[in-house]
Chain A
Amino acid sequence: GAVVSQHPSWVICKSGTSVKIECRSLDFQATTMFWYRQFPKQSLMLMATSNEGSKATYEQGVEKDKFLINHASLTLSTLTVTSAHPEDSSFYICSAEPGQRLYEQYFGPGTRLTVT
């Protein structure tokens, strides 16, 4: 149980285009989902927290107009990188949390984004 999937697992896009990454909780309802970013040889940095049906809360320094997050249902959150640039190339990982309390977060397998 508690499986989180991400799609796609890797994507290459050209500079200036937009790319959407999906995060799904497969066997539970996730009221809260989190998006992280990881550069090579570095740790995970929280980008934003999304709650179903409301606007995402972005961490300081994360451009909300560039990284659009939508949490339209209890099992799906999407991250859209708009007008991507090579510096946006990174490993993006989502996690999902069941319920309103601080239960364990379940992590997706990650999406490797390369912007050329």
Chain B
Amino acid sequence: KQEVTQIPAALSVPEGENLVLNCSFTDSAIYNLQWFRQDPGKGLTSLLLIQSSQREQTSGRLNASLDKSSGRSTLYIAASQPGDSATYLCAVRGSYNQGGKLIFGQGTELSVKP
């Protein structure tokens, strides 16, 4: 059974700092991995999606890497801003014959202080 773990559970940093959020998963047979942002009381905003054949994806100040063999992904946020404060969720997608389900980690709650 796939399990997704995110470390740390919460993180508080001063504005301008570069930071790394970690995600690990137990079954390396994934179809893709996705990072989401969730603001309090809101739905999910997709940030980056990495296919199993890819090593990383970049969007603006965000960079996500994937090491499928070790079951790890990292989300790098450069020059953090107070507007980046939110919960960041990592989710892995199983292959179609595994049901194709999206399994979420518990999230990292990020607070960026001005």
Contact = CB atoms under 8 A, between A and B. Distances in A.
A44 B89 contact: yes
B43 A108 contact: yes
A34 interface: yes
Given A104-B46, A107-B44, A112-B41, A43 B104 contact: yes
B42 A44 contact: no
Contact of A93 (B32, B43, B105): B43
Interface of B is mostly: strand
A53 B91 CA distance: 28
A42 interface: yes
> What bracket does the count of chain B residues touching chain A fall in?
20 to 34
A49 B96 CA distance: 13
A46 B106 contact: no
Nearest to B41: A112
Contacts of A106: 46
B100 A102 contact: yes
Given A102-B31, A102-B93, A104-B49, A46 B102 contact: yes
A110 B40 CA distance: 11
Nearest to B90: A43
B34 A104 contact: yes
Contacts of A91: 41
B106 A110 contact: no
Contacts of B89: 43-44
Interface string A71-110: 0000000000000000000010101000001101111111
Contacts of B91: 44
A68 to B, nearest CB: 21
A43 B102 contact: no
Nearest to B46: A104
Contacts of B43: 6, 93, 107-110
A108 B45 CA distance: 9
Interface string B29-55: 001101010000111111001000000
Interface of B: 31-32, 34, 36, 41-46, 49, 89, 91, 93, 95-96, 100-107
